[in-house]
Amino acid sequence: MNNFSKKNKDFKRPVKTQEREEKLEKSFIKDIKKNSKNTVFIFGKINRIAQTGGPTVFVISDGTGSLSLKGFVGAGQRAYPELTEGDSIKTFIKIEEFQGETEGNIIKINKLNPSEEKDFIKSIENIERERAKVIPPKFLVESPILNKLKDSFIKAATEIKLAIIQDRPIIVRHHNDTDGYSSGFSLERAILPLIEEQHGSEKSRWEFFTRAPCAAPFYEIDDSIRDTAQSLRNVARFSNKMPLIIIADNGSTQEDLMAIQQGKVHGSDFIIVDHHKFDQDVISREVLTHINPFLVGEDGSHFSAGMLCSELARFINPNVKNINQIPAMSGFADRIELSNPKTMNDYLKIAEKEGYTKELLSDIALVIEYVSSKIRFMEVREYIEVLFGEPRNKQKELVQLMAPYIKKMDKKGLAIGMSNAKQEKMGNVILQSIEIEETFPGFGFFPKPGRATGLVHDEYQKRTGETAVVTAGIMNTAITMRATDEANFSVHELIKFIDKKLPETFVEGGGHKNAGSISFLPNKKNNIVNLLKEFIKSR
């Protein structure tokens, strides 16, 4: 026991009250029970102060949890004006319940003296470090890639748990597709119960957690500014801390750098969980942790981001529920069975134990892909929960309703694409091209350009037996591409090739070696198409 735990008897108060308090042992917030109506003596650090139309609310933490304390001197009047955010206090409170939440009604409260505060802060730090410790679980599947990433999983999980313990908001940003939603949802399932446990409040899941898709296939400056502006507003209005931002299925490339740096200027921190290739690692030095198979010499196309985030979720919260089927589902959505069939089969066996067949998982992935194109960049947390099986009976009912409808649209999109695709022989490689904006209906049409290109790519191989194929969905300012291994293609090498040959196109892009997209200036479209052909011939 340190000196701090003994120093709890110097309140200035009436003798009877003092004697009553001195008989109370110091309580920890985690041990305070809802509806107890007990009188307790606690120490805490003031994280936030909010003045309501009634009492003044002090949100304190002691390393074991957080609790709201109410002080009342008059309607809308500031109670205990000598107290400020960051102060360490000791208080005598009565435990009460308000609108279903446990809180404390202040009877007496005082700042700690310098000696007490030093001991208390040290005590908090020790408690937080102990609570944030990660006991690494066994991975769901055996994989040398996961083993190489284990230390990064531990580091990421520790930082996430520490953010929760320190009452820091968490924002999860993810790609706007099935793999991205799988990544974000699995992290959400792990984090939300810990936030509720920390604050003893169901509403805390809205105050301290946000999950939303990115507007682009990377964390762009627009999203970063929106996240920062909203967070700064919450700091000003509610005395919140700046957030920890987790970027999933995005975040590893040069295109993400400015947005991450912008957030850091204002006090946000970042964790990246991604599987996309990058030309140069410019991100790791900017973030708390960067998880990506390419960082450990492995191919990111062998794991989906949903697989990585589901494994990370189990490091964050060993009691996480309803995620064991997600790795297989995200894997099917991202075609991992083509590059890593063993891992896909292992994850599928786990999903089957949860009652999910390969067909059902593929249908769920299809529905998520469709829904993501409609809700675009809204959070819609409750709707996403249904898609991921909360509750499962409603999930199956929704999938049974929507999957046949979406498959019909896929079939229509495939027919449109195949009837308008053009093939051109280039050495041993077939270049198949589709003029997306001239071929498909406009905004809101499903399948989206990337999916439509993939469908046509696969169908052409089935019909012809060709194995060396590159399919390009060409738009006015972008091209989305799919390629076979036999085509000896690389999206990243193509970008370098174009940038060297014609830098005034200002080409950008990314993805995987055989599946990705590029963007460019609209007046350079014809130049880009010609350079694409030249690149394929050169390979």
Tell me the C-alpha distance between 20 and 14, whole Å: 10
Which H or E element spans position 414? helix 392-420
- Give the C-alpha separation, 447 to 179, whole Å: 16
d(CA 373, CA 379): 13
**pLDDT of res. 433:** 98
Q: What is the pLDDT of residue 23?
A: 61
Q: Looking at residue 202, what is its pLDDT? A: 87
The answer to whether residues 299 and 293 touch, using CB atoms and an 8 Å cutoff, is yes
- Residue the block writes with tokens 């169908």: 459
For position 217, what pLDDT does the model report? Answer: 86
- Reading the block at residue 382, the tokens are 């409750």
Higher-confidence residue of 384 and 10: namely 384
Q: How confident is the model at residue 38 (pLDDT cuts 50, 70, 90)?
A: confident
**pTM of this structure:** 0.89
The 10s digit of each residue's pLDDT in 167-224 is 999 999 999 999 999 999 999 999 999 999 999 888 899 999 999 999 788 999 999 9
- Between the alpha carbon of residue 44 and those of residues 63, 64, 84, 110, 488, the distances in Å are 8, 10, 13, 11, 62
pLDDT computed for residue 165 by the predictor = 96
Predicted pLDDT of residue 35 = 61
> What confidence tier does 6 reach under pLDDT thresholds 50, 70, 90?
very low
Residue 313 has pLDDT above 60, yes or no: yes
Q: What pLDDT shows up at residue 20?
A: 54
Which carries the bigger pLDDT value, residue 35 or residue 389?
389
CA 325 – CA 331 distance, rounded (Å): 10
Q: For the chain, count helices (H), then strands (E).
A: 19, 17
Residue 1 reports pLDDT greater than 60: no
Per DSSP, the three-state class of 2 is: coil
Distance (Å, whole) CA 25 – CA 38: 13
User: Treating both helix axes as pointing N-terminal to C-terminal, what angle do 358-375 and 341-353 enclose, rounded to 10 degrees?
Assistant: 100
Four-residue CA torsion sign, 340, 342, 346, 348: positive
What the block records as the tokens of 61 is 């933490």
**Please, which pLDDT band fits residue 13 given cuts at 50, 70 and 90?**
very low
pLDDT at 309 > cutoff 90: yes
Q: What is the DSSP letter of 74?
A: S
Beta-carbon contacts of residue 129 (< 8 Å; ≥ 6 apart): none
Residue 13, classed as helix, strand or coil, is coil
Which whole number is the average pLDDT over 311-316? 98
- The CA dihedral of 302, 307, 312, 314, to the nearest 10 degrees, is -130
Mean pLDDT over 374-378 rounds to 84
Residue 536 has pLDDT above 70, yes or no: yes
Peptide bond before residue 447 is cis, with ω within 30 degrees of 0: yes
Exposed/middle/buried for residue 180 (C-beta within 10 Å: 0-12, 13-18, 19+): buried
- What is the chain's mean pLDDT, rounded? 93
Query: How much is the average pLDDT of 280-297?
Result: 98
Name the token pair of 92.
């005598």
Q: Roughly how many angstroms between the first and final C-alpha of the chain, as a whole number?
A: 70
* CA gap 496, 439 in Å, rounded: 29
Which residue has better confidence, 203 or 284? 284
SS (H, E, C) 440-506: CCCCCCCCCHHHHHHHHHHHHHHHHCCCCEEEEEECCCEEEEEECHHHCCCHHHHHHHHHHHCHHHC
Q: How far is CA 440 from CA 273, 373, 454, 481, in A?
A: 34, 15, 14, 17
Q: Once rounded to an integer, what is the mean pLDDT over residues 372-401?
A: 93
Check residue 10 and give its pLDDT: 39
d(CA 479, CA 511): 12
> 280 is written with which tokens?
């140069």
Is the pLDDT assigned to residue 451 strictly greater than 90? yes
pLDDT at 99 over 80: yes
Model pLDDT, residue 24? 67
For residues 136 and 315, is the Cβ–Cβ distance under 8 A? yes
Q: Between 122 and 215, name the one with better pLDDT.
A: 122
How does pLDDT run across 240-278, given as a tens digit for each residue? 999 999 999 999 999 999 999 999 999 999 999 999 999
Write the CB contacts of 47 (distance below 8 Å, at least 6 apart in sequence). Answer: 59, 60, 61, 66, 85, 167, 239, 241
Mean predicted confidence (pLDDT) in 138-158:
98
Please give the Cα distance from 261 to 259 (Å, whole number).
5
Q: Is the per-residue pLDDT at 65 higher than 50?
A: yes
**Alpha helix (H) residue ranges in 218-357:** 221-238, 254-265, 305-316, 326-333, 336-339, 341-353
Residue predicted with more confidence, 100 or 199: 199
Ordered domains of the chain (ranges, CATH): 3-123 (2.40.50.140), 133-354 (3.90.1640.30), 421-538 (3.10.310.40)
Statement: residue 315 has pLDDT above 80? yes
CB 172 within 8 A of CB 211: yes
- 249 token code pair: 């299925």
- Kindly tell me if the per-residue pLDDT of 157 is higher than 50: yes
Give the CB-side neighbour count of residue 292, counting CA atoms within 13 A.
Answer: 25
Q: How is residue 201 annotated by DSSP?
A: -
Residue 340 has pLDDT above 60, yes or no: yes
What residue spans of 47-89 are helical by DSSP H? none
CA angle (251, 492, 181) in 5-degree steps: 35
